[in-house]
Amino acid sequence: MSDKIIPAFEAIHGAGYQALFLIDNSQGHSAYAEDALRVSSRMNVNPGRKQAQMRHGWYVCANGNQISQAMVYPPDHPNFPNEPKGIKAVLMERGLWQGGLHGKCHSKCDADATACCNKQILKSQPDFQVQKPLVQEIIETAGHTCLFLPKFHCELNFIEYFWGSVKRYL
């Protein structure tokens, strides 16, 4: 997309025009970047081991200032140089670690739960909540607009009618 569709649009229309991309709600379009702020199966409770190297996050401290937070230990860290921090370290830096809770629930958390486990606490943080899918990041970084179509039956999706017409024509 970033090397074909967007440059083609900009070549045809020139600078000053903004494209509106309508994206259907398929699984492939909801994928996230490798370094996206996602807790799910990408983060361990403790540092190191196999987990994603995520981009910087942010949080708002008590005085209202927004603080940038590295999700990876610095190269000079004595125990975990260049290793991902894990849920516990990230929440401890934010002052949100709940020692009496599990790091992760043993079963699936309720969708609306905010404090059943430390994983849910981190997942409900604003920087994790506003994480956008990769396709949306690419489109918006290029200065265009991206709208995801609502989930509904394929027979009600206009793009299905378009492809049906194309197939009949061909």
In this predicted model, what pLDDT tens digit does every residue of 8-47 receive, in sequence order? 999 999 878 999 998 877 777 778 998 999 987 678 889 8
Look up tokens 């994206």; give the residue: 23
pLDDT digits over 118-145, tens only?
Answer: 888 898 899 999 999 999 999 999 999 9
pLDDT tier for residue 76 given thresholds of 50, 70 and 90:
very high
Q: Where are the alpha helices (DSSP H) in the chain?
A: 5-13, 87-94, 118-123, 126-129, 134-141, 158-169
pLDDT at 116: 80
Phi first, then psi: what are they for 136, rounded to 5°?
-70, -40
pLDDT digits over 83-104, tens only?
Answer: 999 999 999 999 999 888 887 7
Q: Answer whether residue 154 shows pLDDT above 80.
A: no
pLDDT at 1: 64
Average pLDDT over residues 107-117: 72
Cβ proximity of 57 and 128 under 8 Å: yes
pLDDT at 103: 79
Instruction: Identify the weakest region by mean pLDDT among 54-58, 66-70, 119-123.
Output: 119-123
Cβ proximity of 127 and 57 under 8 Å: yes
Tokens read off for 120: 């849910």
